[in-house]
Amino acid sequence: MTDQETERTVTAGDDHRLRRAMGPVGMMFVSLGSIIGSGWLFGALYGAQIAGPAAIVSWLIGMVMAMVVGLTYAEVGTMFPHSGGIGRYPHYSFGSFASFNLGWANWLGLASVAPIEVLACVQYAASYFPWLQKTQDGVSVLTPAGLLVSIVLMAVFVVVNALGVGVFARVNNVLVWWKLAVITVLTVALVLASFHADHFTSFGGFAPYGASGIFGAITGGGIAVAYGGFQQAISLAGESRRPQRDVPLTIIGSLLIAGVLYVALQVAFIGAVPASALRAGGWSAVGDNFTSAGHVVAQFGPLAALASALGMGWLAMTLYVDAVISPGDTGMIYAGTTARLSYAMARNANAPARLGAISRTGVPWVGLVLAFVVGCIFFLPFPGWQKLIGFQVSATVISFGSGPIVLLAMRKQLPAFPRPFRLRGARFVSFLALWVCNLTIYWTGWATTWKVMAVTLIGFALFGLSQWNARRRGIDAPAGFRYGWWLLVWYAGLTLIGFLGNYPAVSEHAGNRGLLGDLTGAVAGAALAVLVLVLSTRTAPDTVRAELTDPASSTVEELHA
């Protein structure tokens, strides 16, 4: 088969049962709706607690990091605008072993987002419905009634998605306009009501907790979770009317708009916090030391509590309403994204074929049901918003690493394939993108890293089970280990760096050794990025897999016939 014939085959590989009903505004607003979710309701407080005023820098760094990763997907996403693309692209370049295990990590990360957003809704609502949550060991956890309400909210997400992508986009557009308006009004109101410039230099200075605080806020403060919403442009590319234009526009535009809003809000929050709250315990305890109506409510609704403390009751009530709308919209989006990744894995023949079932409204309905069930299970081991953040960050970022890896592999495999968006300096940007992923996982800390890596072992076991089942049924399903073994090197490297690192602080007895600091940990992450990119590019086959057309059609070797 010639290169031209291979490339024509590739372009016919998407599922035409899906409806291309989304325009540029719909695509942009889906990404913005994902980015502006629970992160903005809690991120300003948690960022300030972890980094102090330097949380402003954390938001800027987080935006740049997400932009670098997103640009690698912009090229591949316009080449193959397929729904659930983040789960499908590794399969095109490396086969089943790499795609299944990267998809497994991404699926867990995505499946945890909707429950994160539900917990944000409930956590804010607990300020006026205290029977929804209680404080246990300093953390907000669900009561039985709160668990029931959370399950109902998850069901609402599924219903809206099931109505079809057109209805979903219209509902989302209205909700995003609301969110943009509220965050803008809040920022301006805080600056006008109470702004103390000395907060940026007093109480320990601009960066009271040093570089560790700045980097730790990116993961522990919800910043990485927020910016990860850029991936919606990739996941929904198969349902965009003009993906070659809309995918890169959405990735870049949504991150820039959200970055400006988040930085402005963080500045306003730092300047508006009552000085009395800072004198009582500094930035690390700021959420425990300002009150509303005599009660400490910052742990349930920090921005609303601040508005109340400043005498702006009307703004506090607006925020309590928005605390349902903002995370609710984001949870609705991610429920659909999770379903599309299930669909993508089914298309890869890496998951039960039933997950690829499409409803009359053009949505993967079995994947929606699965997202609902698994999302509800997440409420049990992770009962609080912040408890879920670290896990979600690491699991999702692992899958983001496939962007730079696949980009370089496809430059080798399909050099003449049309690229509506061609990334300049692809090798250097790919290195930066994978390095960003390594750093983000390192900053989440060893206590989270080892748990995520343990979950990846379950993925390997499931992959082995699926291979055994395929052979038992007489199905030829190449494992693709010869093309994807570099994944083991990457996972092992991430585990070792986390174990030797200093996140979280060794004094917290998390089990890590603290031999690597901020600089040496960053150098180790860079070296691992170079090693993985070299290994993956060299082991990738010379052309993409024929499964772009039909998951069961042929193997890599047959493409050369």
Number of domains in the chain: 1
Q: Which residues contact 534 (CB under 8 A, 6 or more apart)?
A: none
pTM of the model: 0.80
pLDDT at 510 (0 to 100): 60
Q: Report how far residue 209's alpha carbon sits from residue 275's, in angstroms, rounded to the nearest whole number.
A: 19
pLDDT at 531: 97
**Predicted local distance difference test score (pLDDT) of residue 491:** 95
CATH of the domain at 157: 1.20.1740.10
61-77: pLDDT as tens digits: 999 999 999 999 889 88
Whether residue 472 has pLDDT greater than 80 = no
Question: What is the tens place of the pLDDT at every residue in 327-337?
Answer: 888 888 888 88
Question: What span, in angstroms and rounded, lies between the C-alpha atoms of 500 and 526?
Answer: 15
Locate 213 and state its tokens: 């605080």
Whether residue 158 has pLDDT greater than 50: yes
Instruction: Count CB atoms within 10 A of the CB of residue 289.
Output: 17
124-150 pLDDT tens trace: 777 778 888 777 666 667 888 888 998
Task: Give the range among 133-137, 367-371, 399-403, 465-469 with minimum mean pLDDT.
Answer: 133-137
Supply the mean pLDDT for the chain: 80
For residue 191, the enclosing domain spans 3-560
68 or 30, which is more confident: 68
Highest mean pLDDT range out of 12-26, 68-82, 239-253, 272-286? 68-82
Burial of residue 309 (CB within 10 Å: 0-12, 13-18, 19+) is buried
Could you report the per-residue pLDDT of 86-115, keeping only the tens digit for each?
A: 878 898 899 889 888 888 887 887 788 888
Helical packing angle, 96-125 and 38-51, nearest 10° = 90
**Distance of alpha carbon 305 from alpha carbon 316, whole angstroms:** 7
Give the model's pLDDT for residue 137.
Answer: 66
User: Of all residues in the chain, what percent are helix, strand and coil, respectively (each to 5)?
Assistant: 75, 0, 25
Measured from the Cβ of residue 134, the count of other Cβ atoms closer than 10 Å reads 14
Q: Is the pLDDT of residue 23 over 90?
A: no
Best-predicted range by mean pLDDT (299-303, 366-370, 528-532): 528-532
